[in-house]
Amino acid sequence: MHVTLVEDDLSLGSAIEQSLQAMSHAVTWVRDGRTARQALRDTGTDLVLLDLGLPGHDGLELLAEARRANIGTPVLIMTARDTLQARVAGLDAGADDYLVKPFHVEELAARIRSVTRRAHGLAANRIVVGALSLDLASYQVEHHGEKLALTPREFALLRVLMERAGRIVRRESLEQSLYGLERGVESNAIEVHVHGLRRKLGPDIIRTVRGVGYMVPRDAE
């Protein structure tokens, strides 16, 4: 999943970035209001973690502006503003969740899972497609009840395909979810990860739609 982190505190931002990467997320970290406005409009972003006290702009105003423009990217506010009025204002401005600083990484991870579940219409942390099962909390994948050892990139790729089971996912979208704006990504990186997954899952689970992308059918066996 491609997460855009909007945080101007260098120490906190670095710690959150490392934690997100350890969760197999691709991270784009921005530090000011101008780039935060762009991030909220980036269709390649799956989730925005938004600090409110930004240089030059108020994060709450940027969020409200984005929602008025019908931009539906999920947003999780992270802020030291801990009053009831501030939380209500954040949620009314269009935030999907509101997390008060300081917080534990475990809570951030749980709230990310919660927001992601709602965005994809899931009721639990487990995504099940046919004989495939993927657990968002434990990062465990099972196929026909057998646990599989996946690399972080393979897990992230399979997660995107399973969340959109039955639909074609464009190659460019997969690259965004796995790498964000990371530079120097090999042109065949997605193909390499798909090949790795096929070796572990079998050749027919992930289908290639030539010239477009990939898909996992709803009845994947």
Identify whether 6 is part of a domain: yes
User: Which of 66, 85, 119 finishes a domain?
Assistant: 119
Q: What pLDDT shows up at residue 45?
A: 87
83 and 134, same domain (yes or no): no
User: Which of 88, 119, 150 finishes a domain?
Assistant: 119
- Buried residues in 46-84 as b, exposed as e (16+ CB within 10 A): bbbbbbbebeebebbebbbbbbeeebebbbbbbbebeee
The structural domain count of the chain equals 2
Q: Return per-residue pLDDT of the chain as tens, 221 residues.
A: 899 999 999 999 999 999 999 888 999 999 988 888 888 887 778 999 999 988 878 889 999 999 999 988 999 999 999 999 999 999 999 999 999 999 999 999 999 999 988 888 877 888 999 999 999 888 899 999 999 999 999 999 999 999 999 999 999 889 888 888 776 678 889 999 999 999 999 988 999 999 899 999 988 66
172 and 72, same domain (yes or no): no
Identify whether 90 is part of a domain: yes
The dihedral region occupied by 86, where left means phi > 0, alpha psi between -120 and 50, and beta the remainder, is alpha
Identify whether 194 is part of a domain: yes
Q: What pLDDT shows up at residue 57?
A: 83
The CA radius of gyration of the chain, in Å to the nearest whole number, is 18
Q: Measured between alpha carbons, how far is residue 147 from residues 54, 130, 136, 166 in Å?
A: 44, 15, 14, 23
Q: What pLDDT shows up at residue 183?
A: 66
106 and 168, same domain (yes or no): no
Q: What is the CATH number of the domain that holds 175?
A: 1.10.10.10
140 and 48, same domain (yes or no): no
CA 18 – CA 15 distance, rounded (Å): 5
Q: What pLDDT shows up at residue 221?
A: 65
Contact by Cβ (8 Å): 215, 166: yes
Identify whether 221 is part of a domain: no
- Can you give the residue range of the structural domain that contains 34? 2-119
150 and 42, same domain (yes or no): no
Identify whether 177 is part of a domain: yes
